[in-house]
Amino acid sequence: MPLMSLEKPPAQPGQVWAHVGQPFVGREYDLIVLGAGRMGAACALYLRRLAPRRSLLLIEEGGLPNEDGATLLSPGVWSALTVPPERRAEAQWTRAQLAGALAPDPSLNLSFQARPLLELAAAGGAGWEAVLDVLGRDPAPTLPAGLADLQALPWARLDAQAARYRPGALALACAQAAIGAGADLMLNARAHLDGGGVGIERLSVTNTHQIVVHETHRLRAGRVVVALGAAGPGTVEHDLGLHTTHARAYRQFPRLNHPSTEQTPTLRAAGLTLRPQHGGFTLVPAIHHRDPAGYEPGGGRLTGVPTGLRRETLEDLVAAMDALPALATGALELGRSLMDVPGAWFALPGGDPDGLPRHEEVAPGVHLLLGGPHADTLGLAVAYDLAATVAGTQQRPWAGRPG
Amino acid sequence: MPLMSLEKPPAQPGQVWAHVGQPFVGREYDLIVLGAGRMGAACALYLRRLAPRRSLLLIEEGGLPNEDGATLLSPGVWSALTVPPERRAEAQWTRAQLAGALAPDPSLNLSFQARPLLELAAAGGAGWEAVLDVLGRDPAPTLPAGLADLQALPWARLDAQAARYRPGALALACAQAAIGAGADLMLNARAHLDGGGVGIERLSVTNTHQIVVHETHRLRAGRVVVALGAAGPGTVEHDLGLHTTHARAYRQFPRLNHPSTEQTPTLRAAGLTLRPQHGGFTLVPAIHHRDPAGYEPGGGRLTGVPTGLRRETLEDLVAAMDALPALATGALELGRSLMDVPGAWFALPGGDPDGLPRHEEVAPGVHLLLGGPHADTLGLAVAYDLAATVAGTQQRPWAGRPG
């Protein structure tokens, strides 16, 4: 190990408060990050690396990963196909981080797999090829039989650089690496912004499974990063009395029990992404638009029968059935109530269903960090960008976009 | 009056059942129209004219006009600016109907006013002129002082053909004319589709203001037209166990107490339509996308203060404040709860926020008729088209689009 420079004091692992049985004495922090999803955990890690002299506390309302957050359910599909050209360098840097640069310790396993993404379409255009040509090349991406109707989808484009990983494992790896680099972590603690600091409620669970506040603290903080996913904009609006343009959308991930292998490419067709997982597919419907404030998701009906899929998701799947006949079979798990189909709220930066990850200083010293639908491909770069901004660093490790 | 042909028997006015005190003996009808909003009432009238030998019953759940429907709150702004070229002939025919051809009896007053629509924009293009040129011509549309910032909106286009009217009065006039032409009408009756016919619940109100079912009937019908507005798709889905692609959106119409006169043009700017009404303006926000199934509208907050405007409407108004400074003044009625701001559900044909009115036979003998956001400009032509289809008439009174 080289000698540490003045900027890099020897990393003493930080402290972890996982439950209220571990006593916590409130203190001042230079930096507090709210939310240990992948965006918050990554930002905490990069902050430890870029500003190692500033004390940091990472606060998470649930466990790690939080089962109610979007991180755990995110598809974890990296592909530069849908990223605007001027953000490609950041996407490539994110890919390198995911592939091992972020957490070289092999115990921090993101299940990273370089696997092509095959997009199929009814109509072609520049950059598209005949699907049979693409499937005939060597090495050929293999398509499970009976999944797609290639006569309905005669055009294809292949992202040979694409990859898959587990966003939940990414959050965990980032949080562990951040702690290893000196960050403190508090789990099971709800936080709110409180002029110049953060109010904390440490939560505990009663015998009757009620969540109760065990104790409260008020911490002063130099800067606060709000990385609460879809709840972030609402938190800064409620706590700071300001208005943002951000919105959120509920996304369900139905299961399709059509056989896949580790080698099956990620597929995209008819507006859906099909991510091979656990020998089948996880379906990722497109986000068409934000959901209105106050909306509570509920199950829809298919020819009168209640399902766990909401109506909007059902419509997307019904519309895709001609192109993807497997959707019209018993392989599709419809569920009977909302509880049966995994789903989560996603932030829509700028209210845009295609909004890119971003950060912004919504009040002096308070930074809102949003992942959203493109977090799989660009999230780490934006988390790094915020950490570098807070650290006062002009340089960015990707080319072509100095901060 | 000319001699009646065989196709036009002398019009005996139909019967009206306004409340449960008027006894009703169930009978068979050739045609039943569900919903006496403007689409249903107009279709009933055209059906009486095109198929006068077929008995017709028009059924409405509320009064006429129904205070819960979209008809009463629709802006009533006719303008061909946003209609695709191939539908212009229908739009022109609709305008002629509104201007007097539909109900030449002056007692049926739609408050039709030919008034220009002035659209203002930040950026121009083909068909756009400098706003000062448009305002300087003779006769010049006069813009109320302080409403719009012409430096922020330097481009304009004028629809000199535009008009305004009251959609609620249109529904009433159509229903009255339909009764005059022999249609029966039942008010305060809830209806559902029931294989080959219609089930009816005649409603009455108790001393404690509860709505109760007074009596039920089952009527056989040759054909049924479902013209229940935003509730139409849900009704055919629920009653017939089928699925449609239609959706709905909730639209609020906030009041802006900035002075207008009878001569003030209808304005469109920054995504809003400003309809002069009662000496001020009714604001008509754009419909951006459908609302998800199960959504219940609720009031939003502006810098922490509860308002009667939902969040999405607030955002539209906040985004328009620079171009329309009057929105940032006390002239805008924010309300304190949803009850304070008029709003209604609108059908979105095809789930499209810009969907045009349409009809379709969703099951043998069951026709779904949808108005939606363009009903002001194209609704009557589509209601006529359905009536002509049911009557078996190939001809359409507008040129260029034989049915």
Percent of chain B with pLDDT strictly greater than 90: 81
Return the pLDDT at A34.
98
Whether A64 and A36 have beta carbons less than 8 Å apart is answered as yes
Out of A183-192, A251-260, B106-115, B347-356, pick the least confident.
B106-115
Nearest by CB to A243, which of B250, B293, B303? B303
Q: pLDDT at residue A107 above 90?
A: no
Residue A68 has a pLDDT of 85
The per-residue pLDDT for A26 is 75
Q: What tokens appear for B223 in the block?
A: 């054909």
> Looking at residue B3, what is its pLDDT?
38
Does the pLDDT value for residue B5 go beyond 70?
Answer: no
Cα distances (angstroms) measured from residue A396 to each of A181, A375, A384: 20, 18, 8
Higher pLDDT, B111 or A401: B111
- What's the pLDDT score for residue B103? 78
Q: Give the Cα separation of A71 and A284 in Å (integer).
A: 14
Architecture of domain B13-116+162-252+344-403: 3-Layer(bba) Sandwich (3.50)
Compute the nearest-CA separation of B329 from chain A (Å): 18
- Structure token digits, residue A173: 């790896």
Residue of A nearest to B301 (CA): A243
Contact call for B241 and A303, based on CB within 8 A = yes
Tens digits of residue pLDDT in B241-251: 888 999 999 99
pLDDT number for residue B92: 96
Q: What pLDDT is recorded for position B9?
A: 54
pLDDT one-digit tens code per residue, B174-187: 999 999 999 999 99
Higher pLDDT, B291 or A102: B291
The alpha carbon of residue A153 is apart from the nearest alpha carbon of chain B, in Å, by 22
Whether A29 shows a pLDDT value over 60: the answer reads yes
The contacts of residue A201 (CB under 8 Å, 6+ apart) are A189, A190, A191, A213, A214, A215, A216
- pLDDT score of B67: 83
Please compute the mean of the pLDDT values over residues B58-68 and round it to a whole number. 89
Which of these, A110, A32, A75, lies nearest to A272 by C-alpha position?
A75
Q: Quote the CATH superfamily of domain B140-159+254-341.
A: D-Amino Acid Oxidase, subunit A, domain 2 (3.30.9.10)
**Looking at residue B400, what is its pLDDT?**
56
pLDDT at B120 over 90: yes
When pLDDT is cut at 50, 70 and 90, the band that residue A291 belongs to is very high
Predicted pLDDT at B1: 36
Residue A391 contacts residue A56 (beta carbons within 8 Å)? no
For B44, what's the count of Cα atoms within 13 Å in the CB-facing half-sphere? 37
> Pairing between strand B29-34 and B211-226?
parallel
Distance from CA of A109 to the nearest CA of B (A): 38
Share of chain A above pLDDT 90, in %: 81
Average pLDDT value for residue range A382-393: 97
User: Which H or E run includes B47?
Assistant: helix B38-50
Considering only the C-alpha atoms of chain A, give the largest distance between any 2 of them, rounded to a whole number of Å. Answer: 69
pLDDT in tens, A309-331: 999 999 999 999 999 999 999 99
Determine which of A239, A244, A289, A318 to mutate to test the interface with B (most B C-beta atoms within 10 Å): A289
Evaluate if residue B7 carries a pLDDT over 50: no
Give the pLDDT of residue B302. 81
Question: Cβ of A294 and B297 within 8 Å?
Answer: yes
Q: What does the pLDDT read at residue A327? A: 96
Exposure class string for B77-86: b at 16+ Cβ within 10 A, else e: bbbbeebeee
Domain ranges of chain B: 13-116+162-252+344-403, 140-159+254-341
Can you tell me the mean pLDDT for A336-363?
96
Could you tell me the pLDDT band of residue B293, with boundaries at 50, 70 and 90?
A: very high
Instruction: Give the model confidence (pLDDT) of B332-386 as tens digits.
Output: 999 999 999 999 999 999 999 999 999 999 999 999 999 999 999 999 999 999 9
Q: What pLDDT score does A103 carry? A: 78
The reported pLDDT for the residue numbered A8 is 52
Answer whether residue B13 shows pLDDT above 60: yes
Task: Please indicate if any CB of chain A lies within 8 Å of the CB of B315.
Answer: yes
How far apart, in whole angstroms, are the C-alpha atoms of residue A79 and residue B173? 59
Largest CA distance in chain B: 69
**Per-residue confidence (pLDDT) for residue B2, from 0 to 100:** 40
**Kind of pairing, strands A211-226 and A305-306?**
unpaired
Residue A46: the pLDDT is: 97
Percent of chain B surpassing pLDDT 70: 97
pLDDT of residue A6: 43
For residue range A261-286, list pLDDT tens digits in order: 999 999 999 999 999 999 999 999 99
Please give the pLDDT value at position A192: 95
User: What band does B27 get if pLDDT is binned at 50, 70 and 90?
Assistant: confident
The residue that leads in pLDDT, B3 or A179, is: A179
How many CB atoms are closer than 10 A to CB B9?
11
| CA A228/CA A248 separation, integer angstroms | 12
Helix (H) or strand (E) holding B267: strand B266-269
Query: CA-CA distance, A1 to A180, in Å (whole number)?
Result: 15
ipTM here:
0.84
The contacts of residue B210 (CB under 8 Å, 6+ apart) are none
More confident residue, B9 or A306: A306
Per-residue confidence at A10, pLDDT binned at 50, 70, 90? low
Selection from B293, B250, B288, B290 nearest residue A314 by Cα? B293
CB contact under 8 Å between B294 and A297, yes or no, is: yes
> Which residue from B290, B292, B304 is facing A310, i.e. has the nearest CB?
B292
- B337 inside 8 A of chain A by CB: no
Q: Looking at residues B187-215, what average pLDDT do you find?
A: 91
Q: Flag whether residue B245 sits within 8 Å of chain A, measured between CB atoms.
A: yes
A119: nearest Cα among A136, A100, A134: A134
Find chain A residues with C-beta within 8 A of B292's C-beta. 250, 291-292, 295, 297, 310-312
Average pLDDT, chain B: 92
* pLDDT tens readout for residues A217-252: 999 999 999 999 999 999 999 999 888 999 999 999
For position A9, what pLDDT does the model report? 53
Stretch B278-290: mean pLDDT, rounded?
96
pLDDT of A395 over the 50 cut: yes
Q: What's the pLDDT band for B275 if we cut at 50, 70, 90?
A: very high
Confidence (pLDDT) at A140 = 81
* CB–CB contacts below 8 A, A to B: 65
Distance CA A190, CA A201 (A): 5
- The minimal CB distance from A288 to the residues B241, B243, B289 is found for B289
Q: Which two three-digit tokens encode residue B5? A: 């042909």
Check pLDDT > 70 for residue B10. no
Average pLDDT over residues A36-63: 96
Higher pLDDT, B9 or A164: A164
